[in-house]
Structure 1
Amino acid sequence: MQELDRSFFHRKLSLVIAYFHDPKKVGTFTKNCSKDVLRLKKIKNIIKDENVTKIGVLLNENLSNINEISEKLSIKAQEFFEQENIELEPYELDITYDFWKSEEILSAILPEKFLDEVPSGFTITGHIAHLNLRDEFKPYGKLIGQVILDKNPNIKTVVNKLDSIHSVYRTFDMEILAGENNLIVEQRESNCLFKFDFTKVYWNSRLHTEHDRLVKSFKEGDLVIDVMAGVGPFSVPAGKKNVIVLSNDLNPESYKYMQENITKNKVEKFVKPMNEDGRVLIRECYSELLKFSQDNNGVIKYQSKKRKNKEEEIIEHEIKIPKHINHFVMNLPDSALEFLNEYNGIFTKYKSDIEKIQNFEFPTIHTYCFEKFSPDENPEPTEEVLHRRVHAKIQKIMDCYTLPFEALSFHTVRKVSPTKPMFCVSFKLPKEVVFRDS
């Protein structure tokens, strides 16, 4: 099938119907003989006659004609029908395209050689269903897209990724397989609403639990620098927790939608949008902190509402902007590790001032990375082996061989493929790194 023919899926199913003149008997029968009643999803098994003088109950789909009653109907049901003088008649049920699941439809219309791997999986972002079709399925892409569109009422557009993620802005080209030509998405996540152009920014709906996990580790009043923030999936929810965030992304489109999302979610006081090269921001992080603090006179002032005696009370709050950075988030798993060398000497220029600050804290880095391994490795490397490989890379890039393995905390985010796990690695920046001579 090259174009979807929904009439192909019209079928007539031969059944048997039991007619009841007493409505009370219907409930008794369906309760005591539930296995003898039709149990097909989306199909009503109780049918009212047009003149409302009797009610029909469709019997189990294995019973296709009256002659099979003694063989395929339970003894209890047979005795009930005989005792109550229930009328049994043949019944033809129309089954249409709407009845079938998407997997069943695709199995019926795709070439037989593909039946073991029908491509019915997809990721939903807003109103868009996003597929990654393998080459052999691409000639049938529009057919697959239309079936997915038909079977998922909340989906308005189905797209297929055309190539790998572009290295600079983490975006990819895509084609619309079915539905509306509308790729401006509104996605709700972490009690926030995000808007963005799905073709021009990076967004992965599968990472929402990871966004929540990391944001939960931040405390009110913490200062976070989100180096590769995208449209704000870490920054905006953190801002709602009264966490102060310098939220940065190099992609002008991400920056544009980040600004809109900050406003849309009313976190302007806590989240400052930036459009810098991540390396520059890391190098200039302390001066950016000082500038932000100066611009806000050292405090974030905000209001909250509280109901008291049926009246709304406005409460004024102040949060002091800390004199140190609590966290750096580096959500660019393909290359975030390569940015770690920029942390060398970030506080050197300010060392004399920093040493006067009581209880000054060195920042915690949360960097995302892949650690791909060969499928030919035998035995397959354990997680600890992969962690130690990442640790060795971090030591080398930062030129810091005194950073112990035990100082690193690893969290497995997901497996992009069987041989490509994604990790979040967290560790506190060593004093010798941040005060190193550039």
Structure 2
Amino acid sequence: MRCRTVKTSELTRISGWEWADRSRRPYVRGDTAYVPVKDGYSSDTEIKERKRYSGPGYQMIGDIAVIHGSRPTESEISEIIGWKNPKGILLLKGFNSEKRIPDTEVLYGECSETCHREAGHIFFIDPSKVMFAMGNRDEKMRIETLVKNSGREERIADMFAGIGYFTIPAGKAGGMVHAMELNPDSYQFLNKNITANGLKNNITADLGDCRDLLRGTYDRVLMGHFDSVNMLKDLIPHIKRGSILHLHSIDSVGDRIREVLNNAGYECEIKEIKVKKYSPGRWHIVQDVTII
């Protein structure tokens, strides 16, 4: 591929370069960008075009490639290295215990703390120690929008905060968030991410079982654990008419939610949102529950 080399800081001017072939992406290495050149224009270098990656699926968390499920072959690992040049490659086999501790194996390089940026938010994380909910990106953005557009300063409980997946967007949107986390490693990163995003005035974090940490009354409650419905009874003393709950589950648990709330003297309206496929025929669902 015929290219011209420029400093990466100059790429913001690419729209004004008549010679630049903007149908192809520049290749960046360090402080140097290799910008493809249109036919009929001179170039100052030529680089071999990379073969498009066709190996097993993976997710980039910061500069670490995370593979779910089956172990890749050595050639597939080499292909990922050649395509993304990650700091490390991590195989995620599953999660252990209610603390959602990942069961992992390092396949290449160093898999330790990294900085992941998503939708304008900063998340420090070590994916070999704690979970990162990559598939919930749209749901995080939806929660941020709901808090921002609520028309009130909300007191929000995040009962399963993790490293701040929902805590950070809710705090950025103006919510006053009480974040609770059981896993000490996740709690460490939660506090680091609160600081990194400049949200110390909006977020209070506590370490421990959320059922013991709930206090006062909340306008909105984030319940991002698939077993949330079994903890709904513990939340009853901390909600009121007008409170909104976002309760995650595998498949619908609307009938069980209504039963618990009715027994406590509340009626409710429930709207179900499908987040993503969990397994064949099963869905990760969020129930938006408005207490009336």
Quick check: TM above 0.5?
Answer: yes
C-alpha distance in structure 1 between counterparts of 2:213 and 2:177, whole Å:
13
Alpha-carbon separation, structure 2, partners of 1:190 and 1:132: 23
Q: What is the match of residue 195 of structure 1?
A: 124
Q: Which amino acid aligns with 2:278?
A: V
What are the equivalent positions in structure 2 for 1:204-243 lying under 5 Å apart?
Answer: 204-218=133-147, 219=150, 221-243=153-175
- Does 1:150 pair with 2:82? yes
- Which of 205, 209, 228 aligns to 1:336? It is 228
* Pair 1:273-2:205 in alignment: yes
Aligned match of 2:115? 186
1:262 aligns with one of 183, 189, 194: 194
**Mapped contact 1:171–1:200 kept (Cα < 8 A):** yes
CA–CA distance in 2 between the matches of 1:166 and 1:411?
27
Distance 2:270 2:182 in 1: 28
Amino acid of the residue matched to residue 425 of structure 1? Q
Q: Is the 8 A contact 1:414 1:421 kept in 2?
A: yes
**Residue 279 (structure 1) shift:** 1.5
Q: Is the 8 A contact 1:215 1:238 kept in 2?
A: yes
Task: Find 1:160's aligned residue among 83, 91, 99.
Answer: 91
Q: Is the 8 A contact 1:412 1:423 kept in 2?
A: yes
Q: Counterpart in 1 of 2:290?
A: 428
The alpha carbon displacement at 1:43 in A equals: 11
TM (normalized to structure 1)? 0.52
- The residue number in structure 1 matching 2:218 is 325
Alpha-carbon offset, residue 419 of structure 1: 1.8
Q: Which has the higher strand share?
A: 2
Deviation at 1:237, TM superposition (A): 2.2
Query: Structure 1 residue 429: deviation in Å?
Result: 3.5
Contact 1:142 1:177 in 2 (8 A): no
Cα separation, partners in 2 of 1:235 and 1:101, compared to 1, 3 Å: same
Under a length normalisation based on structure 2, what TM-score does the superposition of the two structures give? Answer: 0.76
**Aligned-pair CA distance for 1:267:** 0.8
Q: Which amino acid aligns with 1:121?
A: G
**Aligned counterparts of 2:75 and 2:103: Cα–Cα separation in 1:** 20
> How many residue pairs get matched?
253
Distance 1:226 1:196, change over 3 A: same
Aligned equivalents of 1:240 and 1:346: distance in 2?
A: 23
Q: Which runs of 5+ in 2 are unaligned?
A: 1-35
Are 1:126 and 2:126 an aligned pair?
A: no
* Stretches (4+) displaced over 6 A: 42-48, 401-404
Aligned alpha-carbon RMSD (Å): 3.1
Query: 1:258: Cα distance to partner?
Result: 0.8
The structure-2 alpha-carbon separation of the partners of 1:44 and 1:203, relative to structure 1 and needing over 3 Å to count, comes to: same
Change (3 A) 1:193 1:408: same
Matches within 5 A, 1:286-365: 286=216, 324-333=217-226, 335-346=227-238, 361-365=241-245
Please give the secondary structure, in 2, of the residue aligned with 1:102: coil
Contact 1:247–1:273 at 8 Å: present in 2 too?
Answer: yes
In structure 1, runs of 5+ residues without a counterpart are 1-41, 49-94, 104-118, 287-323, 348-359, 372-386, 431-438
Q: Is the 8 A contact 1:221 1:243 kept in 2?
A: yes
| Shift in Å, 1:409 | 0.9
Return the alpha-carbon distance in structure 1 between the equivalents of residues 260 and 96 of structure 2: 24
